[in-house]
Amino acid sequence: MSVFNAYMSLSGATDADVLRDEKLSRRTSYRIGGPARLLVLVHSYAALVKVVKVLAEEHVDWVILGKGSNVLASDAGYDGAVIVLDDEFSRVSVDAESGVVTAGAAALLSRVVSEAAKAELTGLEFCVGIPGTVGGAVSMDAGTRREWVGHRVRDLVVYRPGEGLHRYEGHEIEWGYRGTSIPTSEIILEASFSLDRGEKARISADMESRLARRRRTQPMGKPTCGSVFRNPPDGSAGALIEECGCKGLSSGRAQVSCDHANFIVNNGGASAADVVSLIQIMHDSVLANRGVDLKCEVKLLGFGD
């Protein structure tokens, strides 16, 4: 693997900015993480194709990173290239007549929800308050326990390295609670959502109600990456963790939120090791006391196999 050769080849790439040793704490909502050997901001499809090709030729591992809202990056960083989609992949268009909103993978999910509401289109209100990008939301089928992004995806455009673009119809993808059948080797570029006509006042009221509930029940004002564990069938991960006495528990500068036991917050200066320690304690406590094997939904970056 030659990160240096990749850096030299990509430094002159059109529509791409290449950074060395960029701290991942600047790129994740946890504000945790050491440096990535390379971080490449890709502004166009042509640049993405070139970047992936060069990294493959130099045998440099790579990952796609959105806003890092569901990612815990290692204290040691990532010994490869982190690709961040930008510009061309941030566009959002609304066809109110057909009820279709099309968004690039780098577009903020909050912007898509807002644009849909302005056009009096209903169906994505459940996404209000969910951080991150469209690409991240689609890849993990973000949503609530009963409503998922995948239910509204009409079609999807992905890039298959070495092959080119591919379009999926929404029904061709298996959507599930916090997961999809989209191969991890494919890069999500764009998604179209099929929505319904609605009344602006009702849409706004629904969004305000959902936001108010999030503010009441989830930690605000401190770095976090959202829910740590998936809810088990017919149960609540947060309730199970709280029942086992883990709410408020600390490890270093990381703490199980006092507002919601399925969140871990960074109280300032927390390390990835602090967070991992709490995740392990939470999991083991629930398994030992309730017999439930909670599944972590936080994506780990730079921890190896």
Catalytic residue check, 227: yes
Comparing CA positions, the residue from 104, 188, 77, 95 lying closest to residue 141 is: 188
DSSP per-residue letters across 112-142: HHHHHHHTTEES-GGGTT--SBHHHHHHTT-
**Residue 261 CB partners (closer than 8 Å, separation 6+):** 238, 239, 241, 242, 246, 247, 282
The C-alpha atoms of residue 179 and residue 187 are separated, in whole angstroms, by 15
Comparing CA positions, the residue from 146, 95, 145 lying closest to residue 121 is: 95
Calculate the alpha carbon distances from 131 to 10, 134, 188, 229, 281 in Å: 30, 10, 17, 17, 26
Catalytic residue check, 154: no
Other C-beta atoms lying within 10 Å of the C-beta of residue 11: 11
| Options 154, 178, 210, 214, the catalytic residue | 178
Asked if 221 contacts 189 with a C-beta cutoff of 8 angstroms, the reply is: no
- Looking at this protein, which amino acid is placed at residue 40? V
**Residue 223 CB partners (closer than 8 Å, separation 6+):** 29, 30, 31, 32, 265, 266, 270
Please state the φ and ψ torsions of residue 187, each to the nearest 5 degrees: -105, 120
DSSP secondary structure code for residue 171 in this structure: G
Asked if 132 contacts 69 with a C-beta cutoff of 8 angstroms, the reply is: yes
| Options 22, 120, 125, 297, the catalytic residue | 297
| Options 227, 257, 271, 285, the catalytic residue | 227
Catalytic residue check, 215: no
Catalytic residues: 178, 227, 297
